[in-house]
Amino acid sequence: MRNELLDVLYTYNNAFASDNEPLGARKGHEVDITLNTDRKYPPVLRRPAYPASPRAREAFKKHIQELIQLSVIRKVGHKEEVEVKTSVIIAWHNDKSRMVGNFRALNTSTVSDRYPVPRIQETLTQLSKYKYITSMDALRGFHQNVLMPKAK
């Protein structure tokens, strides 16, 4: 059983990453994000950022540079700058910072995919026949989703 698990992990090793490495990618599960273009995007997308302390501003710059290095975001525009149009706050937990964006206004212009969430009882029933069950946490959450070219 151990060798079978190692074979699977080796086969899909591009889905895994560790700190300071490129993100793993969920290839074969590309995400298609479609924005409604029949109406203007809400002006709230251009709100000024939340007030931030010098410590939070420095953490924000580090997060942006890290996301650029990981190819999650890219510089755009004539000045090749990263422009943040949504309100961003820096949350602190155990002296580690986390960047949090407010995308509620953008979500109102995004066409939703309608996939029902599986019922927990059905999932547990399906899993009951297995001997081993594991779960893995994504290193950077949604940043590991691969966008379809037209969604970029």
Secondary structure letter of residue 55 according to DSSP: H
Amino acid at 58: E
Return the closest-CA partner of residue 140 out of 63, 84, 88: 63
Burial of 67 (0-12, 13-18, 19+ CB in 10 A): middle
What local confidence, expressed as pLDDT, does residue 7 receive? 92
Q: Record the pTM.
A: 0.56
- Phi–psi pair at 90, nearest 5 degrees: -110, 120
Domain boundaries, the chain: 35-110
pLDDT at 82: 54
Q: DSSP H helical segments within the chain, as ranges?
A: 2-11, 54-69, 104-107, 120-127
Rounded to whole angstroms, the Cα distance separating 38 from 86 reads 21
Per-residue pLDDT at 136? 65
pLDDT over 60 at 81, yes or no? no
Distance CA 130, CA 104 (A): 39
Tell me which of 3.20.20.80, 3.90.180.10, 3.10.10.10, 3.40.50.620 is the CATH number of domain 35-110.
3.10.10.10
Radius of gyration for the alpha carbons in the chain, expressed in angstroms and rounded = 19
Please write the tens of the pLDDT for every residue from 89-143.
677 778 888 887 777 776 776 777 677 777 888 888 988 888 777 776 566 666 6
Place 152 in a pLDDT band, splitting at 50, 70 and 90: low
Residue 63 — left, alpha, or beta (φ > 0 → left; ψ -120 to 50 → alpha)? alpha
% of the chain surpassing 90 pLDDT:
1
